[in-house]
Amino acid sequence: MRHHELIKFAIIGGSMMILDMAIFYSLSLTVLEAKPVIAKIISGVLATIVSYVLNREWAFKNRGGRETHHEAMLFFAISGIGVLLSAAPLFVVNNLFDIRSSADVKQLVIIDFILGYIIGNLLQMAFRFWALRRFAFPETEMDSTGSAAVAPAPAPAPAPGELGHN
């Protein structure tokens, strides 16, 4: 594992968390007060767009042998799953426990932060780092013509009986 990729990914993630929070709280404390999950999805989508550019140009700049449109499609599909993962704790608590009707603004801000930015971000961050490295920005190898080619997926480990000895 390349630690410099993880560090850059974390810096971008932290920056996008601040952007996401600014958008989320601007929406959830005003025009989308009754719809925090919608506010979280909007803020997540906007942060994801900025994240693609930063990850492509900085964190994973030495990776990827895919065409840009294919890479972008994979990035946004993976990130879309990440946005849903980060909104899931907020969705569960708001829809199963109806906390918005009984909590004041200060309590809602704290609850939303814990659910959307601690629990939700941990879920989506782990998933996105694994999936982006694996699918959107895979390792590249040079082929016989000197062009970059996407590295093949590792072969599965042989079963114990297939090792050549019994």
Domain membership flag for residue 19: yes
Assign 147 to helix, strand or coil. Answer: coil
Domain membership flag for residue 84: yes
**6-42: burial string, b at 16+ Cβ within 10 Å, e else:** eebbeebbeebbeebbebbbebbeeebeeebbebbbb
148-150 and 140-142: which strand pairing?
antiparallel
pLDDT tens, position by position, 80-136: 898 889 889 988 888 888 787 888 889 988 988 899 889 998 999 899 989 988 888
In Å, what is the CA distance from 116 to each residue of 111, 123, 145? 8, 10, 47
Average pLDDT value over all residues in the chain: 82
Higher pLDDT, 6 or 161: 6
Domain membership flag for residue 153: no
Residue 41 belongs to domain spanning: 3-139
pLDDT surpassing 50 at residue 23: yes
Cα–Cα distance for residue pair 65/88, rounded to 1 Å: 33
Higher pLDDT, 138 or 141: 138
Domain membership flag for residue 62: yes
Nearest to 47 by CA among 73, 2, 78, 12: 12
> How many distinct structural domains can be found in the chain?
1
Which pLDDT belongs to residue 74? Answer: 93
Domain membership flag for residue 145: no
Tokens of 161: 């009986």
Nearest to 42 by CA among 30, 58, 60, 56: 30
Domain membership flag for residue 147: no
Domain membership flag for residue 127: yes
